[in-house]
Amino acid sequence: MKTQQYWPLLDNNGLLQIPLRFYWLLLLLLRPYLCWVAELSMMRSQHSLLGQFYPRQHDFLVACLIALPLLLLVAALSQRRPKGHKFWFWLWRPGLWLLWLVTLADFAHSISGLDPDVILDAPWRLIAPVLLVLAMIWLACSKTLPPIFKEWPGPLSASANPAPD
């Protein structure tokens, strides 16, 4: 019986391709900022979008503080290219642990902010904790994320990329 060799998918820079689930996780964890931008872009009305997800202003502020380190991770992700600044490498390397800490803190904050009768009043507020549990399972079982956070593009040399004939 033959064993199949799975080759990693590489992006245009020759680095391991970041899975789409990673971007979905970033969107989930950065939801306070996304809700804030959506609230700012909407016309004023009686019902606040932020009020639907964060009934108390304190909850929104704490959620923004929890997600704040991920903004640095997104900035480092934008520099993960051959001409990117090397400074961001030092923020990219511990990015997996940063993802874990922010996910755990966000889960704890999401659970602690739920009212006892949330299932009757606002069941949509249970979606985030359920998705955060699924994200923690994916972070624990993922075999692709650790190598992604270990690599960083080096300077391109002429011998590494020969010119086509």
Pairwise CA distance, residues 54 & 131, whole Å: 17
- The answer to whether position 62 is within a domain reads yes
Provide the pLDDT for residue 50: 79
Q: Which residues contact 150 (CB under 8 A, 6 or more apart)?
A: 93
Q: What is the token pair recorded at 46? A: 């009686």
Pairwise CA distance, residues 158 & 116, whole Å: 63
- The answer to whether position 110 is within a domain reads yes
Pairwise CA distance, residues 85 & 9, whole Å: 24
Provide the pLDDT for residue 12: 65
Provide the pLDDT for residue 19: 87
- The answer to whether position 82 is within a domain reads yes
Domain count, the chain: 1
- The answer to whether position 97 is within a domain reads yes
116-163: pLDDT as tens digits: 777 777 777 788 899 999 999 999 999 989 988 988 776 533 334 444
Cα-based distances in Å from 58 to 44, 55, 129: 21, 9, 18
Provide the pLDDT for residue 91: 86
Under a CB-based contact definition with an 8 Å cutoff, are residues 146 and 10 in contact?
no
Going by pLDDT thresholds of 50, 70 and 90, the confidence category of residue 6 is low
Please provide the average confidence, as pLDDT, over all residues in the chain.
Answer: 81
Domain boundaries, position 31? 20-39+52-150
- The pTM for the full model equals 0.79
Going by pLDDT thresholds of 50, 70 and 90, the confidence category of residue 49 is confident
- The answer to whether position 120 is within a domain reads yes
Helix axes 57-78, 31-41, angle to 10 degrees: 110
Mean pLDDT of 6-33: 83
Cα-based distances in Å from 146 to 3, 73, 82, 109, 140: 24, 15, 20, 26, 10
The better pLDDT of the pair 33, 8 is held by 33
Pairwise CA distance, residues 36 & 146, whole Å: 31
Provide the pLDDT for residue 13: 67
